[in-house]
Structure 1
Amino acid sequence: MADAFRLGFIGAGNMAESISRGVIKAGVLPPSSIRTAHRCPKRRSVFQSFGVQILETNQQVVDDSDIIILSVKPQVVKEVLLELKPFFTEQKLLVSIAAGIKLKALQELSGHKRIIRVMPNTPSAVGEAASVMCTGEMATKIDEERVSSLFKAIGKIWTAEEKYFDAITGLSGSGPAYIYLAIEALADGGVAAGLPRELALGLASQTVLGAAAMVNQTGKHPGQLKDAVASPAGTTIAGIQELEKGAFRSNLISAVVAATKRCRELSQS
């Protein structure tokens, strides 16, 4: 908390809420250092419930913050930034988590060059986000460190060049949905094999969580971990053979590539 700064959110949706809660829980900032504005009383009361300051307008949020996180839907970014353009001074850092809006567009719309773009994903709600950031030309090392501290509070963060962001969206942005499908299918398989639904779903979700933790914590290649489970002529290799018949790996690869392609189309439009 030694490096305290004022954090403002333009857009008080679910992602802003997740980041705020995570930052407070991790002790990165106190609630009094965070502010936002929203027309909806319900959203205002949610943020007030854990100590975030509610201001009347987005202009006030920008004026009263050192770091401003733009967390609105991509289709309203242009309107919002043009409205706030006069309030971005050189002392302020703009952080955008709006999907598909590139640094160049953010600079042109805001008239501001001290910008960092971040792509988080929805598991931020449970503190397990996979986030990636890229920095604009005027962002400083301290800016990077501060933004990194914010997003480490809700998971893990990597740094990458902006040219990779469409593929990042296709993998980690859309990826949770692919895993939800896999969990649902595993649970259905358990039910088909005779398990009660609740038990099957619990086992499926914990198995996926455990397998991901094994990859993250052991540093071993997933193929190596897979080989350790698949004993000769055993149950696991029989299941893997069925997955290979259905092109399981190829389908996941194709899903990431298709989502990347669609993201590229949307960002160009």
Structure 2
Amino acid sequence: MKIGFIGAGNMASAIMGGIIESGLVDASSVFASNPSREKLDELSSRLGITPASSNSEIVRTCDVVVLAVKPAVLETVISEVATVDSDPLFISIAAGKSIEWIEASFVHARALEGNLNVFERIEGAARSVRLVRCMPNTPALVGQGMSGLCANATATEEDMRIALDIFGSCGRALPMSEQMVDVIGVVAGCTPAFTFLFIEALADAAVAEGMSRADAYQVVSQAVMGSAQLARDTGKHPGQLKDMVTSPAGTTIEGVQALEEDGFRAAAMHAVRRAMEKTRKL
């Protein structure tokens, strides 16, 4: 199996690394195209991938094509590759671009090339495109990503299995409805930024109490990582885990009360809702 990436940014690079490290395919079977040849040369040297000269070459060559570009340029990329005489599985990681939108973009591109008549356009002939939509997050860079995936009606069970294997190679991957893929795109996608803000705030407080900044970042990062693993691996409700730490009249419950008084929980929920609103506008 040959896996190609159109776009070779940080997320694509992380997924390539996971694929290769897991042994899903050999490095030479991973292809990438990118506007920057320098970036491709760096990935070829570091990971052993095969650079491609164009997006169309990726589609002609590969069995799976990951559309790893920004939402703003996805339509342009589809217009370049929609009429290539090949039938790969396409996987999009562009935020906010629905399966319906991507299918319509393929229809439009093929219609412009004269490959579809008006009746085929009306019937949605681009549904012949095998398509999986995925929302990964940046912890994939360290093999701890969280991805949600959904597929269109044309994609097969084998297509979904392949997609789950690809994104499972750099973390955890779950099949879900498209509506929930949008939700995971915000919850999992934004949580790293929210968590980094939390880490920075806790570290600032430690520095204010006299700890060195280097030690503060190390202590807080480890505490957050351990807490997350505890929540994931034990399966216990977060409230139950919180209660395990908050002794009666102790220091932790005093701090928890301060967070509640300052609207910590409401602020977190509000941040997710705002991010969802933005996603729907993309």
Q: Does 1:194 align with 2:207?
A: no
Aligned residues: percent identity? 39
Matches within 5 A, 1:215-230: 215-230=231-246
Q: Aligned partners of 2:98 and 2:144: how far apart in 1? A: 25
Alignment partner for residue 78 of structure 1, among 75, 80, 88?
75
Q: Aligned partners of 1:165 and 1:38: how far apart in 2? A: 26
**Quick check: 1:166–1:261 contact (8 Å CA) kept in 2?**
no
* Residue deviations 1:166-190 (CA, integer Å, cap 9, x gap): 3222211112111000000110111
Shift of 1:89: 3.3
Shift of 1:243: 0.7
* TM-score (ref. length: structure 1): 0.94
Shift of 1:88: 5.6
Number of residue pairs aligned between Structure 1 and Structure 2:
261
**Quick check: 1:59–1:87 contact (8 Å CA) kept in 2?**
yes
Aligned twin of 2:62: 65
Aligned twin of 1:123: 139
Q: Does 1:46 align with 2:62?
A: no
Q: Aligned partners of 2:199 and 2:36: how far apart in 1? A: 35
What is the root-mean-square deviation in Å for CA atoms of aligned residues? 1.2
Q: Does 1:7 align with 2:3?
A: yes
Q: Aligned partners of 1:146 and 1:157: how far apart in 2? A: 11
* TM-score (ref. length: structure 2): 0.90
Matches within 5 A, 1:59-208: 59-87=56-84, 89-90=86-87, 92-110=88-106, 111=126, 112-208=128-224
Q: Aligned partners of 1:146 and 1:178: how far apart in 2? A: 31
**Quick check: 2:135–2:182 contact (8 Å CA) kept in 1?**
no
SS at match of 1:138: coil
Matches within 5 A, 1:18-29: 18-29=14-25
Shift of 1:44: 1.3
Aligned twin of 2:271: 255
* Residue deviations 1:41-75 (CA, integer Å, cap 9, x gap): 32111221111011211111110000000001111
Query: Structure 2 regions of 5+ residues with no counterpart?
Result: 107-125
Which piece of structure 1 moves more, 41-50 or 12-21?
41-50
Equivalent AA in structure 2 for residue 189 of structure 1: A
Alignment partner for residue 12 of structure 2, among 6, 10, 16?
16
Query: Structure 1 regions of 5+ residues with no counterpart?
Result: none
**Quick check: 1:113–1:137 contact (8 Å CA) kept in 2?**
no
Shift of 1:95: 0.4
